[in-house]
Structure 1
Amino acid sequence: MAEADTNSADQCQALTGDGERCSRPAQDDGFCYQHDESDQTVSESQTAETEQDEQEQEQTEQEADDQEAQSAEMAADEATDPSDVDTSDVDGDDDIAGILAVRRTVESTAGQIVGHEFDGVSEITPLDDGWRAVVEVVERSAVPDTQDIIGRYEIELNEDGVVQGYRRLDRYRRGDTTAFE
């Protein structure tokens, strides 16, 4: 704090063209090398306000630094070591394995079933009696590829992953995002 008081006392008393206090260091007469007594000067109340503004700014910066440090500390305290997590009662592995198996089946057969180049799987949903997958295929290639015509197809599979049927849901141009908004 004493340093801020010293800095404002050592700062030029003249006002710049935009009405701000000159930021150059003052010489013995209270002005910098560019200003003198003929220039407009900062009043005592303005000097006090400037000092108070500087102190408030320093305090705000210090508070922000303290909050950052506290947030980092909290994040470090909340971090969980993966080896500490008990996964013995998690039975999701079977569901994931089932979805992955359906995905592999759909990826390998969708192009053949639909008769177009396979582009991607956008959805896999379990049903009571099997699975439902939504895939995208390139129905017509174009240059540039943003003009490709993409078909979205629904493929139904039984519980064993055998394809039961399919149908086209819709078609869109690859670069057309308005269809999904």
Structure 2
Amino acid sequence: MADADTHQSTEQCTALTEDGERCSRPAQDDGFCYQHDESDPTVSDSQTVDDEQTQDEQQAQETDETDESQPQSRDLTVDMTAEEKTDPETVDADVETDHDEIAGVLAVRRTVQSTAGELIGREFDAVSEIVPTDDGWRAVVEVVERRAVPDTQDIIGRYEIELDDGATVHGYRRLDRYRRGDTGAFE
């Protein structure tokens, strides 16, 4: 019975207003709102179905707008070009991965994470890049140079750290500084 009451209260009045629009008030048992009755002009059954679909779409859009905290599923294939789509059957599943190279990157990451704050003398924030070079590795890290309230105003320094093949640090230099909230320079 609760479902019937809920369904009934969401039905829209079938009467037309003076300007030819459908009345937006909720319908009572007879299909009309408190202001209209059978003597008023009404919408046809096909218009009622279309209006109900439009109303459902509007409710879904309002729900999306008001409930942004929950993740929304989206069909990503709509936005993808033909070049961006990949058929899983055409992907070579037997591609060999160089586990030594991955282990090297992970070793450099661990070294950089554990030493960046102490090396630079600031609070470590993130590793944003690790790249192999002819002489070893180059890592770009971000450190908090000055805390602020709100944290989007923190001053972040980007530093380049040079390491050899054995993940031993050979030097570092500051590349630039920016406010945490200012991402325009990196886009």
TM-score between both structures, scaled by the size of structure 2: 0.53
Deviation at 1:134, TM superposition (A): 0.4
Question: Alignment RMSD, CA only?
Answer: 4.0
Alignment pair present for 1:171 and 2:148: no
TM-score between both structures, scaled by the size of structure 1: 0.55
Percent identity among equivalent residues?
A: 63
Residue 96 of structure 2 corresponds to which residue in structure 1? 90
Whole-angstrom distance in 1 between the partners of 2:21 and 2:154: 60
Whole-angstrom distance in 2 between the partners of 1:88 and 1:120: 33
Alignment pair present for 1:147 and 2:153: yes
Higher mean C-alpha deviation, range 100-109 or range 15-24? 15-24
Deviation at 1:121, TM superposition (A): 0.7
Larger C-alpha radius of gyration, 1 or 2?
Answer: 1
1:175 is paired with a residue whose SS is: coil
Distance of aligned partners of 1:15 and 1:163 in 2 relative to their CA distance in 1, 3 Å threshold: closer
Q: Which has the higher helix share?
A: 1
Q: What residue ranges of structure 1 are gaps of 5+ in the alignment?
A: 1-12, 26-32, 61-70, 72-79
Question: Paired residues, what number?
Answer: 133
Residue 5 of structure 1 corresponds to which residue in structure 2? none
Residue 130 of structure 1 corresponds to which residue in structure 2? 136
1:176 is paired with a residue whose SS is: coil
Kindly provide the CA deviation profile for residues 110-155 of structure 1, in whole angstroms up to 9, marking residues without a partner as x: 1121122211111111112211100111222334433332211000
Deviation at 1:51, TM superposition (A): 5.8
Whole-angstrom distance in 2 between the partners of 1:173 and 1:133: 21
Whole-angstrom distance in 1 between the partners of 2:139 and 2:94: 30
Pick from 117, 122, 125 the counterpart of residue 119 of structure 1: 125
Structure 1 runs of 4+ off > 6 angstroms?
Answer: none
1:11-30 equivalences under 5 Å are 16-19=17-20
Alignment pair present for 1:99 and 2:105: yes
Whole-angstrom distance in 2 between the partners of 1:152 and 1:141: 15
Deviation at 1:53, TM superposition (A): 5.6
Letter in 2 for 1:113: L
